[in-house]
Each structure stands twice: as C-alpha cells, then as structure tokens.
Chain A
Amino acid sequence: MTISRFRTTIYIVAAIVSLAGLADATYLTVQALTGETLGCGGSPDCFKVLGSSYARIAGIPVASFGVLAYFSVFTFATFAAFGYAHARIVLIPTIGAMFLATLWFLYVQAFLLHAYCRYCLFSAATTFLLTGLVIALPPGRDRSAS
C-alpha cells in the first residue's frame, strides 16, 4: 500500500468513526432537549452525569457541541479522503480540541461527579480512536484535489 493510499484509508476510517460519534451525540442532544429519561433507565450514574450542571453550558446541552464537532470531523475527513489538502489542516486541530474536551469530561466524571455515563464513555472512546487515527497519519503533504 502506498503512503497516499494508506492516508486515504485513514481518512475514510476517521469519517466512518465520526459517524458513530455523531449518532451518539445526536441522541444525547435530543435526550437533553426533550427531557426524556428512558435512555438512562436503571443507571443512576447516567442520571448523575446527564443531569449535572456540567451537561449544559449556558443552558445549551454540551452534546450539541459534540454534534457540531463530529460533523466537522466527518466533513473534513471526507474532503481529505478526496484529496483536499486544506481539509487535513483543519481536521487535526479539530480532533485535538475534541481530545482535550474529552479529557475534561472524563475528569469531571471521575473526580467531580464520581459517576460515568455510558454514552459519554462511548463518545470518549470514539474521540480517542480519532486521535489515534490522526497520530497514525504518515507525515508529508497530501496531494491537492484542486
């Protein structure tokens, strides 16, 4: 496999992984907007996390920022897979910011709330996977589609 093809494969995998994160974040956003509680059924930890003050910023569910972030990653990864060099430039800092946000949310769950939410852990795993993928990207310039 050539370096270029390997890079394209990584972008495609990142796009697919980001779809999983997008689905998770969309579900959590809808849950927060409707006040629906079935998704946490039987898990007091889930309620503690999703019902905490850390789950919203100025009344906006943090999951909605996740939707934007995962959709951005999907967009940039898709364009990067098609050879758009600029997409790669923005993909890496986007995932970097998500990685830092994930570290913060894990800290909040572990040390402030002492409770974990399965949806949040899934999102964390997705972001870690995306981080691993961009780290695995071979150095060098992408060919440009334009």
Chain B
Amino acid sequence: MKRYLPFVIVALVALATIGSGAMLYRAKRPHVLSIPGDKTLAGKSDAESAHIRGNPEAPVTLEEYGDFQCPPCGMFAAFLGQLEKEYDSRLRVVFRNFPLKAHEHAREAAIAAEAAGLQGRFWEMHDVLYREQDTWSKAPNVRELFESYAGTIGLDLDKFKKDMDGEQAKARVDTDRQRGESLGIQITPTLFINNQPVDQKDRNPEGIRAEINAALQQKPQA
C-alpha cells in the first residue's frame, strides 16, 4: 500500500489544483451575459454607438453619462453592479462618456476605456477604472497606470497604446460628450431610465430602484 501512497497523494493534489483552479475561473471570469459584454447600440456611425451590458431584450434600460474621475460616478458604479445582479435579465445598462473638463485625467480615462472597447473589453476597463479611481486620479503618470490595467485585463498592449493615440477612441468619447451636451447634461452621473431623466432627488439607491420598478410596471417583460 505504501508503495502506491505517493501516487495517490500526487493525484489528489493534482485533482485539487485543477478543481480549485476551475472553480476560481468560473467565479472570476467576466459575467456571461445574454449578449457579448461589449455589444454596442447601433448608431449612425461606429462613433455614435454606445456600450451596453445586459439582456438586449430587457424591459428597462438604464443609461448613464459618466466621468471616470468623478467620485459620485465611482460610487454609482459599485451600486450599478448590485443593480445588475438584482434585476438580472430585466435591466440593461448603457454607458456613455461625459468627461468633465474640471477633471484632469477624465478624458484620458475615457479614451482608455474606449481603446479597451476596441478589443472588446470596454466593461472590464470601465470596472477597473472606477475601482482604482482613487489611485490613478492622483497619479502623475496616468498613462502608465492605464497601460498596466490594460495588461492586467489581458489586452494586446501594443494595440492598446496605438488606440490610445489613435482617432477612433477619441472620436467615440467626443461623440458621446456632444450627445450629452445636446441633452443639456452638465453633471455626472446623469441617468436616464427608459429615456426618461432620473430626477436629481432620486439619484440614490432607493430612488433609482423605485424608478426601475416603476418602469418595469409600465413595461412588463414579455
């Protein structure tokens, strides 16, 4: 028996490693959605399309005009994750860039997110930018940090650097901003639920849930 014991121990450790690795992978892989995570809403041109996450047939659409450097947007991003879990297939989220001029690195962050989007990883970059907002907002060289985020989420770094300097990502940011300006947006986050603006007084967890619930009642899922 002792002769076989090392084989048994090694086999058990191999199984435990593969099993725990697989479980960890399942737990940490990007949330699988009904549509690819970086699907875009069709626009007149590529630059006019927007990033959406969630069920494309969801009865409720929450559209956010956000600035990656704005602290309330960062707090809202954390809350948004809860909302997406809570409402699951009944909610889809649309993100549009609205970098405020007062925030030194906001535009570059938006370009980084769009550059990641060109490799299909907009939402991964969106999440890490908001989660690490405190760090990069104060950093002297944000570009270096954005590149490190890009590498960590598995982007092709050379393409990411090229896209950061290219016109396509910038055009998308500018188009979103112009669209926001045309709607009279001045602050972030500005939210719309099924194209209806969310009132300033309702921009809190209870208010947003109430608005979503009201929208669900108006437009029950088929």
A40 touches B6 (CB 8 A): no
In this complex, what residue of A is CB-closest to B158? A53
A74 touches B21 (CB 8 A): no
Name A11-66 residues within 8 Å CB distance of B: 19, 22, 26-27, 29-38, 40-42, 44, 47-48, 50-53, 55
B13 touches A52 (CB 8 A): no
A47 touches B6 (CB 8 A): no
B127 touches A82 (CB 8 A): no
Q: How far is the CB of A94 from chain B (nearest CB, A)?
A: 14
B17 — which chain A residues lie within 8 A by C-beta?
22, 26, 67, 71
Query: What is the interface of chain A mostly: helix, strand, loop, or mixed?
Result: helix
B150 — which chain A residues lie within 8 A by C-beta?
51
B10 — which chain A residues lie within 8 A by C-beta?
74-75, 78-79
A52 — which chain B residues lie within 8 A by C-beta?
148, 151
Q: Does B48 contact A (CB under 8 A)?
A: no
> A71 CA to B20 CA in the complex, in Å?
14
A51 touches B30 (CB 8 A): no
Q: How far is the CB of A49 from chain B (nearest CB, A)?
A: 8
B136 — which chain A residues lie within 8 A by C-beta?
44
> A19 CA to B157 CA in the complex, in Å?
32
Q: How far is the CB of A39 from chain B (nearest CB, A)?
A: 9
B132 touches A42 (CB 8 A): yes
B152 — which chain A residues lie within 8 A by C-beta?
31, 35, 37, 40, 47, 50-51
Tally B residues with Cβ within 8 Å of A: 37
Stretch at the interface among B63-71, B139-147, B211-219: B139-147
B132 touches A26 (CB 8 A): no
Name B6-52 residues within 8 Å CB distance of A: 6, 9-10, 13-14, 17, 20-21, 24-25, 28-30
Chain B, 122-141, contact with A by CB distance < 8 Å: what is the 0/1 string? Answer: 00100110011011100100
Q: Which of B3, B24, B121 contacts A35 (CB 8 A)?
A: B121
B127 touches A71 (CB 8 A): no
A37 touches B13 (CB 8 A): no
Q: Does A145 contact B (CB under 8 A)?
A: yes
Q: How far is the CB of A33 from chain B (nearest CB, A)?
A: 6
B151 touches A30 (CB 8 A): no
In this complex, what residue of A is CB-closest to B147? A51
> A82 CA to B2 CA in the complex, in Å?
8
Known pairs A47-B149, A78-B6; A71 contacts B14 (CB<8 A): yes
Which residues of A line the B interface, CB within 8 A? 19, 22, 26-27, 29-38, 40-42, 44, 47-48, 50-53, 55, 67, 71, 74-75, 78-79, 81-82, 84, 145
Which residues of B line the A interface, CB within 8 A? 2-3, 5-6, 9-10, 13-14, 17, 20-21, 24-25, 28-30, 121, 124, 127-128, 131-132, 134-136, 139, 144-145, 147-154, 157
List, sorted by A's number, 13 A–B pairs whose CB atoms are closer than 8 Å.
A32-B154, A33-B154, A37-B127, A37-B152, A40-B152, A42-B135, A50-B148, A51-B153, A55-B151, A67-B17, A67-B21, A82-B2, A145-B3
Extra contacts besides A48-B144, A71-B14 (6): CB < 8 Å: A26-B17, A35-B124, A37-B149, A44-B136, A44-B139, A53-B157
Closest 4 CB pairs of A and B: A51-B151, A51-B148, A51-B152, A35-B153
